[in-house]
Amino acid sequence: MTSPGADRDSRPPTESPPPHVDLHVDLHVDFRVDPGRYRHWKLDIDGPVATLTMAVDEQGGLVPGYELKLNSYDLGVDIELYDAVQRLRFEHPRVRAVVLTSGVEKIFCAGANIRMLAAAPHAWKVNFCKFTNETRNGMEDATAHSGQTYLAALNGTASGGGYELALACDHIMLVDDRSSTVALPELPLLGVLPGTGGLTRVVDKRHVRRDLADYFSTKAEGIGGQKAVDWRLVDEVVPRPRWAEAVAARAADLAARSRSGRSARADSPDGADDGAGIALTPLDKTRTDTSISYRHVTASLDRAAGAVEITIAGPESDPPPGVAGIHQQGADFWALALTRELDDLILDLRTNELELGTWVFRTTGDARRVLAYDRLLLDHQAGDWLANEIVHYLKRTLKRLDVTSRSLIALIEPGSCFAGSLLELALAADRSYQLLGVFEDIDPDAAPAAVTVDAMNLGPLPMANGLSRLRTRYLGDAAALSAVQDVAGKPLEAADAAELGLVTFAPDDIDWDDEVRIAIEERASFSPDALTGLEANYRFPGPETLETKIFGRLTAWQNWIFNRPNAAGPAGALRRYGTGQRAEFDRHRV
């Protein structure tokens, strides 16, 4: 995440540490961007090969107070990378290999900017690491499910977060020039850990031996040359005179061998598309101090209660009759439009509204239409690239919700459409409430609230643990899971849903308001830190995966380390790096 070089020349050795100020305290972050506004990345397409060149604008930091030297990055740099990864999947479906390289001579990337981290408040550091992790995971997901294999072409030293960026790629090339290395110097230089999956990917993904990983992670200058290949830190080293030719040849080979993830990457058996992408048009978003609204998603910000009420609107009309309609509607296709809006809302609230700790989800609309859109996507996922991308984008967005440190509550009322893909919101919630009957004083003739399990809940949208939310919910209880699967497609009113364990509580209209109010008020009364630990512990039972390890270690270890004086205190390593002064450590092992 950080590097030894990011600020090497930014302060004279005798300068005092930067004052402990929160540079980001008044900053509102907007995650909407497009290639025409990139300051740090350049995207080039040449047939089946795309090249993403990182050339960070030193003066282009998200806030004043630091320079992004040596291709070091902050959140603004990563927002552009996330956008580029998304656009490659939707706007350039013919691309089969993506070369990630640097536009700065003899340096690939020096990692996260140290002065930015040193001056950032704790929550900013952690949220920055979380978003960066999700972007790296998205690159790996593109390789696995979109047939876009990522190649890291390290034309110079890759340190800290720069090497972590390379680790997210499927293949790593390092220039062999006797000076370029890969390194994870966070521990010896900064008193922190590689916060975007570095340690996990070194041993779990690249299978570097434990003792070698230990040496590597304590050697600040890193390792290069043939030793980096022998230790599995990179896949190949290439002399600089042959660099351009070797990278081009490797990219072409990876493109030729890249698994498309479906039979219709370049064309559609249904005649719906010739492989041309769709434009991810700008999101229509309105934000005030009390609300955030899009076409299908609205959020009401209740600052007094410390809560956000999020309402998801189901489709306004039936889905188009076939896969061609998905392509014709493009970014306006309901499932894609909704997912983009929910993704942006999660990022906005998570970054800009730290004190709104409880998110309350509601849905409105026709459940049958939701299920019809789901069926259209699933019927064509195997044969149509766009249907496949939409399903995987929804999967990634729900995963983002899963790892968000907010309490999640779902309210299932008459007029709701918690069915199929939208039922996943209730299954992701820490608690769910379904009204028993109707609101007699409001609409006694309304249809009772119902939930519907369908195919989208039975596997296409796995969590970070590799299991569906239903399988996770009924972990170790095969009979309960089977009982739910047996009623797939059937609307379930509150009594049946509660008996099957699909919802937490089913109060009637007399108790509804009080139970919901007490739940929200109680949540606001607890320690936010304890709630984050509580939720992170029980949301991911079952198998351990690369993703659960990365996020678990970020939530627990890096979160704790960032709070400790040995890293972030006035005399800590992160604060004193580059000043010529040694860090002063509390030598107690905790």
Mean pLDDT calculated for residue range 175-197:
92
pLDDT at 449 over 50: yes
Q: Cα–Cα distances in Å, from 136 out to 324, 347, 556?
A: 32, 16, 19
Residue 470: band (very low, low, confident or very high) from pLDDT cuts 50, 70, 90: very high
Contacts for 460 with CB less than 8 Å, ≥ 6 apart: 378, 381, 391, 395
Mean pLDDT calculated for residue range 103-123:
92
Q: What is the pLDDT of residues 281-329, one digit of tens each?
A: 999 999 999 999 999 999 999 999 999 999 999 999 999 999 999 999 9
Identify whether residues 173 and 318 lie together within a single domain.
no
- Whichever domain contains 132, its CATH number is 3.90.226.10
pLDDT at 573 over 80: yes
pLDDT at 265 over 60: no
Residue position matching structure tokens 């918690």: 418
Give the strand pairing for 418-419 and 358-364: unpaired
Residue 17: band (very low, low, confident or very high) from pLDDT cuts 50, 70, 90: very low
Residues 444, 453: Cα–Cα separation, whole Å: 26
Residues 227, 222: Cα–Cα separation, whole Å: 11
Q: What is the pLDDT of residues 409-445, one digit of tens each?
A: 999 999 999 999 999 999 999 999 999 999 999 999 9
Residue 135: band (very low, low, confident or very high) from pLDDT cuts 50, 70, 90: very high
Identify whether residues 500 and 554 lie together within a single domain.
no
Helix (H) or strand (E) holding 328: helix 323-329
Q: Per DSSP, what are the bridge partners of residue 407? A: 358
Q: What pLDDT sits at residue 269?
A: 42
- The verdict on residue 184 lying in a domain is yes
Q: Any alpha helices (H) in 41-113, and if so which ranges? A: 75-91
Identify whether residues 232 and 327 lie together within a single domain.
no
Please state the domain count of the chain: 2
Q: What is the pLDDT of residues 201-214, one digit of tens each?
A: 999 999 999 999 99
Residue 259: band (very low, low, confident or very high) from pLDDT cuts 50, 70, 90: low
- The verdict on residue 480 lying in a domain is yes
Mean pLDDT calculated for residue range 40-66:
96
Identify whether residues 559 and 517 lie together within a single domain.
no
Q: What pLDDT sits at residue 579?
A: 87
Identify whether residues 498 and 361 lie together within a single domain.
yes
Question: Nearest to residue 33, comparing CAs of 277, 401, 283?
Answer: 283
Residues 418, 474: Cα–Cα separation, whole Å: 19
Mean pLDDT calculated for residue range 504-511:
97
- The verdict on residue 500 lying in a domain is yes
Identify whether residues 254 and 208 lie together within a single domain.
yes
Q: What pLDDT sits at residue 19?
A: 47
Residues 406, 470: Cα–Cα separation, whole Å: 21
Residues 114, 130: Cα–Cα separation, whole Å: 17
Q: Cα–Cα distances in Å, from 187 out to 5, 27, 218, 441, 565?
A: 14, 29, 6, 62, 14
Identify whether residues 359 and 496 lie together within a single domain.
yes
pLDDT at 275 over 90: no
Are the CB atoms for 390 and 330 separated by under 8 Å? Answer: no
Q: Any alpha helices (H) in 403-466, and if so which ranges? A: 423-428
Q: What pLDDT sits at residue 554?
A: 80
- The verdict on residue 583 lying in a domain is no
Identify whether residues 248 and 372 lie together within a single domain.
no
pLDDT at 20 over 70: no
Q: What pLDDT sits at residue 533?
A: 87
Identify whether residues 493 and 565 lie together within a single domain.
no
- The verdict on residue 585 lying in a domain is no
Residue 274: band (very low, low, confident or very high) from pLDDT cuts 50, 70, 90: low
Mean per-residue pLDDT over the chain, rounded: 92
Identify whether residues 307 and 356 lie together within a single domain.
yes
Identify whether residues 228 and 339 lie together within a single domain.
no
Q: Taking the model in full, what pTM does it have?
A: 0.93
Q: What is the pLDDT of residues 116-130, one digit of tens each?
A: 988 888 889 889 999
What range does the domain containing 477 cover? 286-527
CA quadruple 169, 171, 175, 176: dihedral, nearest 10: 130
Are the CB atoms for 116 and 23 separated by under 8 Å? Answer: yes
pLDDT at 264 over 60: no
Percentage of residues in the chain having pLDDT higher than 90: 81
Residue position matching structure tokens 């920055």: 128
Q: What pLDDT sits at residue 457?
A: 98
- The verdict on residue 375 lying in a domain is yes
- The verdict on residue 146 lying in a domain is yes
Identify whether residues 206 and 291 lie together within a single domain.
no
- The verdict on residue 383 lying in a domain is yes
